[in-house]
Amino acid sequence: TTAHPLSPFQPRGLAGASNAWAAAASRSASGGTLLANDPHLGFSAPAIWYLARLELRTGGVIGGSIPGVPLVLTGRSQRLGWGLTSAYVDDQDVLIEELNPENPSQYRTPDGWKEFETRASIVEIDGQDPVTLTLRWTDNGPVMPGSFRNLETITPPGHVAALSWTVLSPNDTSLTAGMGVMHAQTVAEAITASKGYIAPAQNLTLVDRGSIAMKTIGAIPRRDAAHQSQGRMPALGWRPENRWQGRLPYASNPGFVSPVGGILGNTNNKTVDRPFPNHVSFHWGDTQRVQRWRRLMQTREVHTRDSFIEAQLDTVSFTARSLLPLIGSELWFTGEAAPAGTAERQRQRALALLAEWNGEMNEHWPEPLIYAAWLRSLQDRMARDELGPMTDALTHVEPLFIERAFRNVDGAAIWCDVRQSAPVETCADMARLALDDALIWIGETWGTQLESLRWGDAHQATHDHPVLGQVPVLRFFVNIRQSTSGGDNTLQRGLTRGTGDAPFENVHGAGYRGVYDFADPNSSVFVISTGQSGHFLSRHYDDLAQLWRRGEYIPMSLDEGLARAAAVGVTRLEPLQ
């Protein structure tokens, strides 16, 4: 479930995420538009994000950049604010290509056999002879090795697998589109400029002085309505109906401009409900955070910069609030008196704590750890006798799976019965057994005094150095570890590792946070999760980390005088002559 750090294919749970929301002037206490954005990516030290200001012919832009990318990806200019969330567009298909048995340098197409496009790639290896790899392309995309994601197990003899992916477009104008957004002065101009953006698909949330909008940007493949698998499984690459037929028009990408309610946002949740082949995606990134977001947005008539910050830092788990009453419905305040030291007494203590808990994933409290361990054990018990070793791939709790089983939606309660045993177990049985499993694990790992447990001890943010982070002694200098609140499904997202001896470590979340207020642009606030320096001996390597952990921010201004007045120094980068 963990990918090589250089691999562009991340495990499903650890791909990009993010939050963004905006308020129109009519829903703002100050009468100016508001925008909040916190992109979620894997944690590292130094962080992926870098605070920067760029000076363009149309004026300055300020916010979050990524070193090596000449763009402010989320931030503001004097007139426009923009933020990104992953759009979860269905933009990859695997096609099975048939090799010519008479000539393996050819593959089948709708028009007969065709030669692979090939290129030799020489890999230099220190101290050894170089290795030459022959890379092959079909009309559908590059041929992938059978060892990748175990493709060989589903690829018939005499066939290979090719990948169609929008990011492989030979004419990628995404950077140009990003430049266009930075130059744009209005929401409409930014939407127009984003037409050339290709991949990876994003939801672009925009505000100018008078309006708000959200537009899905990026190429969406045009598939035939008769596609054999609708792109959900590998399909035969020589069948015309399985091949992409270009892209859907940009105008058909989901978009929302100046909604009547004056509030819009995205937590990687489903944005449109359209049938295939205009479906956008079969898999969306969130069903949980959006529930809490809606509540926070609609419980206020008007919003402020501080209410947007409050939502960005919110650690209440809708998942915990909705699932605990279900899975504990036959356990709360039941059972006979049990002597101290017994499993029954420990279960009663845990249930008593959870019964009074409000679902806040607070780093200082024991309840989040008990809840998280209980749900993890419950899902494992429900799935393992049906799925066997494949259950190991379920690294994170799927809330809708648990809910449907406990509500017996379409007979889903059958997941609670252990098929390999004679009795018929109920979901209440599974909940009780799983709670005991969780308490045993907690006792062995963190201790049996439940009231003194801290979620933050298990949920440490792992800003680890990708190269030096495993080196003995040195790792204590380069890795930044901090106790953190939040969890898998809170707005202040702290996605857990899900595997290994420390499954609840916080490995993926908001490495950047920004809130932009166009009633007073200079009051906009920003922060990244480590520091501005990439050198671990610099005091700026981790000086923003504690602010980030405490939910604090720093100001940044487009006023050059203010910026220089607060500077600790000036660094000049000059090209070599």
Domains of the chain, residue spans: 16-89+200-218+253-312, 92-168, 318-458
Distance between CA atoms of 282 and 286, rounded to whole angstroms?
A: 12
Burial profile 482-494: b = 16 or more Cβ within 10 angstroms, e = fewer: bbbbbbbbbbbbb
CA distances for 407 relative to 287, 332, 354, 377, 381, angstroms: 17, 18, 21, 19, 17
| Domain 16-89+200-218+253-312 identical in fold to domain 92-168 | no
Residues constituting the chain: 577
Cβ atoms 434, 324 nearer than 8 A: no
Q: Which two tokens stand for residue 416?
A: 């609670």
* SS3 category, 239: coil
Handedness of CA 473, 477, 483, 484 (dihedral sign): negative
Distance between CA atoms of 453 and 445, rounded to whole angstroms?
A: 11
Question: What φ, ψ does residue 417 adopt, rounded to 5°?
Answer: -80, 130
Nearest to 133 by CA among 143, 123, 145, 147: 123
Radius of gyration (C-alpha) of the chain in whole angstroms? 26
Cβ atoms 379, 395 nearer than 8 A: no
Count CA atoms within 13 Å of residue 552 on its CB side.
8
CATH number of 92-168: 2.30.120.10
* Per-residue pLDDT at 490: 98
Distance between CA atoms of 319 and 316, rounded to whole angstroms?
A: 9
Cβ atoms 311, 551 nearer than 8 A: no
Q: At which residue do the structure tokens 């704590």 appear?
A: 353
Handedness of CA 379, 384, 390, 392 (dihedral sign): positive
Distance between CA atoms of 180 and 189, rounded to whole angstroms?
A: 8
* Per-residue pLDDT at 1: 42
Cβ atoms 558, 521 nearer than 8 A: yes
Residue by residue, pLDDT tens for the chain (577 residues) are 455 555 656 666 566 689 999 999 999 999 999 999 999 999 999 999 999 999 999 999 999 999 999 999 999 999 999 999 999 999 999 999 999 999 999 999 999 999 999 999 999 998 999 999 999 999 999 999 998 888 999 999 999 999 999 999 989 999 999 999 999 999 999 999 999 999 999 999 999 999 999 999 999 999 999 999 999 999 999 999 999 999 999 999 999 999 999 999 999 999 999 999 999 999 999 999 999 999 999 999 999 999 999 999 999 999 999 999 999 999 987 778 888 888 889 999 999 999 999 999 999 999 999 999 999 999 999 999 999 999 999 999 999 999 999 999 999 999 999 998 889 999 999 999 999 999 999 999 999 999 999 999 999 999 999 999 999 999 999 999 999 999 999 999 999 999 999 999 999 999 999 999 999 999 999 999 999 999 999 999 999 999 999 999 999 999 988 888 888 888 888 888 7
Q: Which amino acid is at 494?
A: G
Handedness of CA 369, 373, 375, 376 (dihedral sign): positive
CA distances for 554 relative to 19, 509, 512, angstroms: 19, 19, 12
Distance between CA atoms of 6 and 374, rounded to whole angstroms?
A: 34
CATH number of 16-89+200-218+253-312: 3.60.20.10
Question: What φ, ψ does residue 566 adopt, rounded to 5°?
Answer: -95, 0
State the CATH class of domain 318-458.
mainly alpha
Range list of β-strands (E), 30-130: 34-38, 40-42, 50-56, 59-65, 74-76, 80-86, 92-100, 103-109, 112-115, 117-123
CA distances for 391 relative to 3, 353, 370, 400, 466, angstroms: 18, 29, 21, 16, 28
Q: Which residues pair with 477 in a beta bridge?
A: none
Question: What φ, ψ does residue 395 adopt, rounded to 5°?
Answer: -80, -20
- Between CA 185 and CA 251, with CA 214 as vertex, the angle to 5 degrees is 90
Q: Which two tokens stand for residue 466?
A: 């990708």
